[in-house]
Structure 1
Amino acid sequence: MNTTQNRIERIKNNGYELDFGTVFNHAFENYKKIALYGGLVIFVFFFLFSLVAFGILIAYFGSAATLEFLKPENLKPEALSLSTLLIISAVSVLIGSLLSPFTAGLIKMAYCAERDEEFHVSTMFEFFKAPYFKELFIATLLVSVVSSILSAIIDYAQIPILGFVNTLTVTLFTILMIPLIIFGKLKAIEAIETSLMIVSKQPLILLGLIIVGGVAIMVGLIGCCIGIFFTIPFMYSLYYVIYSKIIGFESEIEQEETI
């Protein structure tokens, strides 16, 4: 059993301590190191991805039909047919799963910044390769499918507030899923199960951190909404720090065990 698995086993049996203020301050200090670079990378990636997606839609449906479909009044759920909603949901889940290694790259960027290691654009795409891509894709796909099914049930029941609760709950209990795959080298199912177990030990503190992180990101909406690209990296710093404080990294865990 490696050191990460030893640490997970101890957490399972004995739990762990986590201080809200310490984690938040640490995440903010880390965020300051990656805010500009990470924000620029996210902005450029989003811009290029939007161009490609828009180009595919125009090539497939034609410019007139695409522009008509993208009108705000035509994108309301009540204006869409069931088949269209299902297609949009399926495409969203697939795209989100395919892009999960990019999220992993942003968390790795926070890791590099903490250690004053150089990080480049290539760092963002480091996990689009074996063995990480498969595990990240499967884990994200499974979580997204479950979340989408729950959202569909909630929409059918017409209880909007439960939609927010569903999103927040899924985000909370899978907060360590990606870090456990890229740092802990866990398989997809194991990473999901371990994240659920760890979060269940300290759900209120972690929930508070997620909510504060979400509020911090929303501050970026000030200034023509462009600023949000530069506040989004805070959440990835938060993911990194939470993993660092709870699990730690192989060399750090080994040092602790020798003390």
Structure 2
Amino acid sequence: MSDWVRAKIENAPKLDFGDVFNDSVALFKKSWLHGLIMQLVIIAITIPVVMIFYFPIIALAWSESIDGRYNEEAVEAYLSEMPLGMIFFYFLAILAIALVSLAIKTAFFRMLKKLDENEEVKTGDLFYFFKKEYVGKMILMLLVTLGLSILFGMFCGLPLIYAIVPMSFFNIFFAFNPEWSVGDMITNSFVLGNKKWLISFGLIVISSILASVIGFLMCGVGVLVTSAFTYHPVYVIYKKVIGFDN
């Protein structure tokens, strides 16, 4: 199904770091507001779940406070005696948040393509993958991502540094090839990541640093605006190497 992609990757021209970066900046000028909305939507979904988890702990710490200070022993006792059912519920809640975040970030790549081609973009586009036909693949992709992160992270972190690049392409392959199997998405992500590893790694690092520094200079809140910039080099590389004429 994806042989044409591998052929394009193998025959891809050499990418220029400056060209990819400049194209990413130009696209970010069009997409920054939508990137901000994406972050706010994810936060809005995450906060209620986090509050459900932390509110009982905070309430307990204050109710058992000593001289106006948190009672750490009471909190530790609460956590150690937490029923397995509650632990399982929190675990599922965390996975649900991760799954929703994955679906939204994947859809954001489709929004970038529309903005890049000067097409109309709606906030509802962020929920493109909130459909039952994608749920199974999204769950499998999430589990594979977590599994690989844990596996590579066990070896002193060095394999994880390598894997950051191909894993960065997981979402974009899903975004534009949702009919593929998860195995094809992951395989082609590693093929592209290996072929363009150095430039991809450099752009991911630079874009992450710039997003953090500029966001910090904007009183910290600016990170919500700049953090989405890290997706743009991945999109531009995919566009230049594979394109959308499949």
Same fold by TM-score greater than 0.5: yes
Is the CA contact 1:100–1:137 (under 8 Å) kept in the aligned structure 2? no
Kindly tell me the number of residue pairs found equivalent between the two proteins: 227
Q: Residue 208 of structure 2 aligns with which residue?
A: 214
Is the CA contact 2:107–2:175 (under 8 Å) kept in the aligned structure 1? no
Residues 24 and 181 of structure 1: CA distance in aligned 2, closer, same or farther (over 3 Å): same
Residues 19 and 199 of structure 1: CA distance in aligned 2, closer, same or farther (over 3 Å): same
Q: Residue 183 of structure 1 aligns with which residue?
A: 176
Is the CA contact 2:39–2:224 (under 8 Å) kept in the aligned structure 1? yes
Q: 2 CA distance for matches of 1:92 and 1:167?
A: 22
Is the CA contact 1:135–1:181 (under 8 Å) kept in the aligned structure 2? no
Q: Deviations over 1:141-197 (max 9, x none)?
A: 21212212443x36xxxxxxx44x455433211222221122134221111111111
Paired amino acid for 1:55:
M
Residues 54 and 33 of structure 1: CA distance in aligned 2, closer, same or farther (over 3 Å): same
Residues 63 and 147 of structure 1: CA distance in aligned 2, closer, same or farther (over 3 Å): same
Residues 44 and 202 of structure 1: CA distance in aligned 2, closer, same or farther (over 3 Å): closer
Q: How does 1:1-259 map to 2 (within 5 A)?
A: 5-12=3-10, 14=11, 16-46=13-43, 48-57=44-53, 61=56, 63-65=58-60, 92=94, 95-151=97-153, 153=154, 162-163=156-157, 165=158, 167-185=160-178, 186-219=180-213, 220-250=215-245
Is the CA contact 1:221–1:228 (under 8 Å) kept in the aligned structure 2? yes
Residues 146 and 95 of structure 1: CA distance in aligned 2, closer, same or farther (over 3 Å): farther
Is the CA contact 1:101–1:125 (under 8 Å) kept in the aligned structure 2? yes
Is the CA contact 1:93–1:144 (under 8 Å) kept in the aligned structure 2? no
Q: What are the ranges of 5 or more consecutive residues in structure 2 without an aligned counterpart?
A: 65-69, 74-78
Paired amino acid for 1:11:
I
Q: 2 CA distance for matches of 1:180 and 1:166?
A: 22
Q: 2 CA distance for matches of 1:135 and 1:230?
A: 29
Q: Deviations over 1:82-129 (max 9, x none)?
A: x99x98888655532342111112111111110111112211111111
Q: What are the ranges of 5 or more consecutive residues in structure 1 without an aligned counterpart?
A: 75-79, 155-161, 254-259
Please report the TM-score for the alignment, with normalisation by the length of structure 1. Answer: 0.74
The 4+ residue runs of structure 1 with deviation greater than 4 A are 86-94
Give the RMSD, CA atoms, in angstroms. 3.3
Is the CA contact 2:34–2:123 (under 8 Å) kept in the aligned structure 1? no
Is the CA contact 1:180–1:191 (under 8 Å) kept in the aligned structure 2? yes
Q: 1 CA distance for matches of 2:196 and 2:111?
A: 26
